[in-house]
A and B are shown apart, each in its own frame.
Chain A
């Protein structure tokens, strides 16, 4: 069958009548084909003319990760089939006035034909009328050529030149009465319809994909070609998909197949196969085979990170980049066969051990190297260092969360070996990871594995016990002073094809062991294709909520997706006992410890795209509140003082000393003094609350975090002789100055935390008085203490200089030696390496934003003038010695309209891992900087801000960006933002209060609203409901939606007979 490759197809649009269902009903194999595709994660959209309930009754019950949808002209909208039946996903209601107009057109055309001596019948359907031109002729599809000639004869007798002449009559009549309709030849009918299958297809794709770029799509229909001079009814599928935003321009990703007779040929790019429903079955079977086979990465560099060749010195960096993780387990992208430079590791979240060395801090203990293989061809070992590499490519397919490797090698014997592998950490079954590999040489299969995975004893592990079990191995890693991890690995290998599954869990006891074994067994039963399909479907869901699309800067697009890929990979929303370390599960860097990076830089991404994940991270802080309380007590304070570095227990694990760049030991005081972490955690809790209004969580966990951290600050601040409150001996985000008094950021964050404490108390007492009484009693909180929170907050607020507007970073800062970082060294640079810690402390040089962290976290704390003054002062004094500094400056520069500068800082952030500018990407990627990149784009360039009950957007796109598109979840509403330089469209799936620019927020949606910028101000231009119908248009704004209209579609082939 001359079909193009279908392996990338993940959506099938299947015309029902004539394509799937023939005169003899459904072919018997069709149902099993559809079931199979559903299990392989392929979405199926049925495009029908008949009653969707009848269609649904013939379809299989969906049991796999794919979705089954029905779009029918008999019910203009989209239904989803699930185990309990169908439910309406989207409705495109028909305007009764328009419907009446169509009926009127039909009646008048019928009358005109009758006057000419032609008998017709008219039957209504929900979106128009069917005009039967030959009620007495047979209608089977197989008889259509005959039908067409019989009809032509009959028309000629009536003096009509052909169908297009009747269509012309319809068009003229429709134009006369202002009716918008399409004429579809469905012989012997002409369907006069307000909707086409193309409209339904577009609707379905918008509902399925939103603003996502579609993956491969296969459209199967039977009437693409013209009939009687009119475009066939399925022609509008081409048109509808072109208008969906990607369409035919997708260049080969969309495959159109006709199984119909197509007597007058088919338009490009339709492949005419003929054969009716039997051919449909064959095509779908072929699709299933290709999807099931060893896949290829998605062929789009904006979605893939590719490494060609092999560079020993960069190998460990690549392995961090190429980590596959699902937040519960992460496997570095190491070479399966191993190499001297390779640093393989698989981490299980929370598997911390304490090395025996005195004063050693807990570290993440790796599990077995379960991806290790020993590939051999005819006894010869495959090794990058032996023989010569013909091709070696690794591709991280970020869209699907799969790492691919393709390796062609000339062995010392002269044989050519072909190896390929893929690996993934299942996003659906988080206890599982999958490795598949194939090896052959001259069509002879190789041998991939004849040994158990490599197991080593880590210094922080007490024991590692490996035990062979059947075709697998079970490994128990028992860390020193931590909870054990169980790893069960099963391998199957046949004819040079290997599939290996890892099932792992942290915990101990029979229940954990049983779970690990059961999940392993279920995965083996399901097989690799199903595991991949589920995983891909879950990644699709995640990208739909998280993707950022930048049109006009492909390089940055790739870097942004790299950041989002790792952010999505880092968290397990079901796991509440661990948090996300600064390097996630991508390497041993920072020992897996958790810093403020998680709450301030990473969590906002989750709060707005994946609230369950944000909640899980906050639950870790709730679970470790007792440790934070104990820590505050040890320091002589009340409330909760969170640790600067945390591992699994919530104890502070910051080491007391380190070795500096000069090789000399230096004291580490961050653990002792960097107390803003407590306010940072409270800020994250409030941020989550603002984004979600999750009352249950606020009552159960959030309020307690905010109140206990606020309580900490009441005891941490002291009343000075000047009548103001002061916080002494702290380290702010700028860590070059230690033991300072009244650090601007710490004071501002503390004051904010204190106010939120009082506010939460008031909120809870109104929301659930009984719950508030119980909580306040449990915490021993009295009105007096709440009043003190307000009092201390008022006494703490730092004040800007009355003339310059600049905040002094801490008391005495302005008296320090004024040195500009820009004069000292090309930025970014590590200040301690260039100047030394002592000289830094005597200068005004700062490591990263400190005063500027105030507007980053609390935008309302500085208006644009104040921000501009502080930015102008502090930015040149900042070394950007932290990877967290560039995204903060990028976001603030964007707010100030310094767009080139913002873009430059965003690129600097992107270089942290991809450019290895920290020289330690080998130890894992830097999630804080990645979260900061999301904030730069969404909060900076998108101008997202949260008001009391609304979100505000004020997009400012840097030069070169044609379009910026991102999605947010705002209190249960999905908000898709598409911004261009002069226009912004916002699509909502329910109602929400939103504002753009300086316009006051208003309640909008569901549907799409467009604003255009005129004379520097945003004006609302158009509002469409979810069905795409116009709901509101600002009369003064002229033609609507100048920038987001559908792309021009292909004109009808015959150019005649279409009334539009």
Chain B
């Protein structure tokens, strides 16, 4: 049984910066970051999960599911098609679902893509409502835009735990501008390593392997 804690502002160390959060997060299975001035709702209505559409383990989806089951929140999976990206981008693992490059009949093809996305990557508990959204542009901007547009109460990001200067630029930007709490999960986090529940008091309880948290 891990430690876990209920995030209370009083418990958190002083000083807030993306670098500090990343430094903490690089040692942790998961970190919840709340930018100064951002409201933590008592009950989240919408959890945003950024998803790369790869079949790699997706602890973010599992966490979102836990939160959704606990709170009734809707899960919104955001996949970003980076601007200018072509088919020859970063190598993707087999089973990756790229957005379609040809869309003959939008009403058929987009629905088909979303359903395939859900089938492959949205293994959520029964009753959890999920929506898949494709955004285009710079990944950070696109994720932030979707979070704002869909009024996300919690944004879940998976990251590679590489906090060195010049790395994790997307995460840094999101941490700086996110309109809601951001939950950062290490990419190699095993499913079940991190459990979460949303407490009625307005916070996320992380357990089993969680080691840190930041609060304004």
Contacts and interface: CB of A to CB of B under 8 A. Distances in A.
B113 to A, nearest CB: 5
B108 interface: yes
B100 A920 contact: yes
A361 to B, nearest CB: 10
Contacts of B76: 663
B107 A659 contact: yes
B212 to A, nearest CB: 34
Interface in A643-697: 645, 655, 657-663, 666, 668, 670
A828 B101 contact: yes
Given A313-B120, A824-B84, A662 B97 contact: no
B104 A883 contact: yes
B108 A830 contact: no
Contacts of B112: 589, 919-920, 923
A662 B113 CA distance: 12
A885 B113 CA distance: 20
Tell me the dominant secondary structure on chain A's binding face.
loop
A311 interface: yes
Contact of A658 (B107, B132, B135): B107
A530 to B, nearest CB: 40
Contact of B136 (A311, A834, A922): A834
B116 A659 contact: no
B99 A311 contact: no
A595 interface: yes
Contacts of A312: 95
Interface in B126-147: 131-136
Given A658-B110, A830-B99, A834-B81, A663 B104 contact: no
B108 A590 contact: yes
A825 B113 CA distance: 20
Contacts, number: 125
B55 A313 contact: yes
A830 B110 CA distance: 10
Nearest to A582: B104
B108 A589 contact: yes
Contacts of B87: 826, 917
B84 A825 contact: yes
Nearest to B107: A658
Contacts of B109: 918, 920
A829 B101 contact: yes
Contacts of B135: 662
Contact of A661 (B97, B98, B108, B134): B134
Contact of A311 (B94, B103, B120): B94
Given A313-B120, A589-B112, A658-B111, A830 B103 contact: yes
B43 to A, nearest CB: 23
A228 interface: no
A317 to B, nearest CB: 10
B121 to A, nearest CB: 10
B46 to A, nearest CB: 12
A882 interface: yes
B116 A922 contact: yes
A662 B81 contact: no
A707 interface: no
Interface in A902-948: 912, 917-920, 922-923, 926, 928
A659 B111 contact: yes
B133 A663 contact: yes
A75 B108 CA distance: 62
Contact of A659 (B83, B105, B114): B114
A826 B101 CA distance: 10
B166 interface: no
A883 B102 CA distance: 5
Contacts of B106: 658, 660, 666, 668, 735, 832
Nearest to A591: B108
B95 A833 contact: no
A880 B100 CA distance: 11
B85 A826 contact: yes
Most A Cβ at <10 Å: residue of B106, B120, B135: B106
Interface in A271-330: 311-314
A835 B110 CA distance: 15
B146 to A, nearest CB: 9
B79 to A, nearest CB: 9
A881 interface: yes
Contact of B131 (A663, A829, A832, A928): A663
Contact of A830 (B84, B102, B111, B114): B102
Contacts of A829: 101
B14 interface: no
Nearest to A922: B116
B86 interface: yes
A595 B113 CA distance: 20
Given A314-B94, A662-B135, A919-B116, A825 B83 contact: yes
29 contacts: A311-B94, A591-B108, A597-B104, A655-B107, A658-B110, A659-B110, A661-B134, A662-B135, A663-B76, A666-B106, A668-B106, A670-B105, A824-B84, A825-B86, A828-B101, A830-B99, A830-B100, A830-B102, A834-B81, A881-B101, A882-B103, A883-B104, A917-B87, A917-B98, A919-B101, A920-B109, A920-B113, A922-B116, A923-B112
Interface of A: 311-314, 582, 589-591, 595, 597, 645, 655, 657-663, 666, 668, 670, 735, 824-830, 832-835, 880-885, 912, 917-920, 922-923, 926, 928
Given A663-B131, A919-B101, 11 more contacts: A590-B105, A590-B108, A659-B107, A661-B133, A670-B105, A825-B84, A827-B86, A882-B104, A912-B102, A917-B101, A918-B101
